[in-house]
Amino acid sequence: MEAMSTSGKDLATLRDTAGDETYFAGPTQSRMVGSGFSNLVSGFFRVDAIATDGYDFALMNDSAGDDRFVARPISAYIRNDNFMIYGRGFDRVDAYASGGNDVAQLFDSAGNDTLVVRNEFTKISGMGYQINARNFEATRTMSNLGGDDIVEFFDSSGNDTLGGQANTDWFNTPAYHAYFTGFNTVKARGFNGGINRIKATDVDYVISTFGTWI
Ligand SMILES: [Ca+2]
Ligand SMILES: [Ca+2]
Ligand SMILES: [Ca+2]
Ligand SMILES: [Ca+2]
């Protein structure tokens, strides 16, 4: 099936089946693909995709401009003034940033979650969900729904800084910034060279360091 919109701020909705589907979403075209079908929509201002049973995977691509990706365990979207792609109920969401200044904002679940930060790759996962954000200039992750939430980060080959004050923390590399707040435990791994610094004062979580940090 194909559907096309040529003007206005039209909305298209793509639905899954009880089987496993993949939702390929982008600013101009989006497609839901499953066993025996492929539904394509193009030119819509907004596309919503709804996933139910099965293992459903959403792959969202940004535009060449500045975009914002916002993801929670149950839903995610990427948008700017010209488009919006939204997915709900997916087991895994991968978002890819390309040109522009792109920001990702991620939120935890009520259960135990793990945030991994590594070389322009940020992943949060917990029971029944996984969200991956790649190549964003900045990521901001909030843990505020409870559970025992952990941050694991891995340094880059350049100079890295891990900073923290009270409950707001950040991790800077030459290429990107990762901010996170509300986590119980932070594990810092510094095995990739450069000068890795920790500047944490008055923090209310546990920091464990591995490798070389000063
Ligand atoms: Ca499905
Ligand atoms: Ca972009
Ligand atoms: Ca949590
Ligand atoms: Ca480093």
Q: How many domains, the chain?
A: 1
Distance 115 CA to ligand 3 centre (A): 10
Residue 164 placed within a domain = no
Looking at the CA of 27, which ligand is closest?
Answer: 2
Does residue 123 register a pLDDT over 80? yes
pLDDT computed for residue 171 by the predictor? 82
Residue 165 placed within a domain = no
How would residue 185 be classed by pLDDT, with cut points 50, 70 and 90?
very high
Residue 159 placed within a domain = no
Pick the more confident residue, 131 or 6: 131
Residue 90 placed within a domain = yes
How would residue 179 be classed by pLDDT, with cut points 50, 70 and 90?
very high
Average the pLDDT over 142-147 and give the result: 96
Distance 73 CA to ligand 3 centre (A): 10
Task: Give the structural domain span for 122.
Answer: 2-147+175-184
Q: How far apart are CA 43 and CA 30, in angstroms?
A: 9
Residue 75 placed within a domain = yes
Which of 126-130, 153-157, 172-176 comes out lowest in average pLDDT? 172-176
Average pLDDT, the chain: 93
Distance 192 CA to ligand 4 centre (A): 5
Residue 157 placed within a domain = no
pLDDT computed for residue 1 by the predictor? 80
Which residue do the tokens 């969200």 mark?
131
Q: How far apart are CA 176 and CA 161, in angstroms?
A: 11
Looking at the CA of 73, which ligand is closest?
Answer: 3
Looking at the CA of 159, which ligand is closest?
Answer: 4
Q: How far apart are CA 58 and CA 190, in angstroms?
A: 32
Q: How far apart are CA 62 and CA 10, in angstroms?
A: 19
Residue 199 placed within a domain = no
Distance 201 CA to ligand 3 centre (A): 24
pLDDT computed for residue 205 by the predictor? 80
Does residue 174 register a pLDDT over 80? no
Does residue 100 register a pLDDT over 90? yes
Average the pLDDT over 134-153 and give the result: 95
Average the pLDDT over 54-62 and give the result: 98
pLDDT computed for residue 19 by the predictor? 98
pLDDT computed for residue 2 by the predictor? 85
Does residue 206 register a pLDDT over 90? no
Distance 179 CA to ligand 2 centre (A): 19
Q: How far apart are CA 87 and CA 51, in angstroms?
A: 8
Distance 44 CA to ligand 3 centre (A): 35
pLDDT computed for residue 141 by the predictor? 96
**Ion ligand 3, residues whose Cβ is below 5 A away:** 108, 113, 147, 149
How would residue 126 be classed by pLDDT, with cut points 50, 70 and 90?
very high
Residue 136 placed within a domain = yes
Q: Which of 52, 46, 40 is nearest to 16 (CA)?
A: 52
Q: How far apart are CA 90 and CA 184, in angstroms?
A: 26
Looking at the CA of 172, which ligand is closest?
Answer: 4
Distance 61 CA to ligand 2 centre (A): 8
Distance 153 CA to ligand 3 centre (A): 17
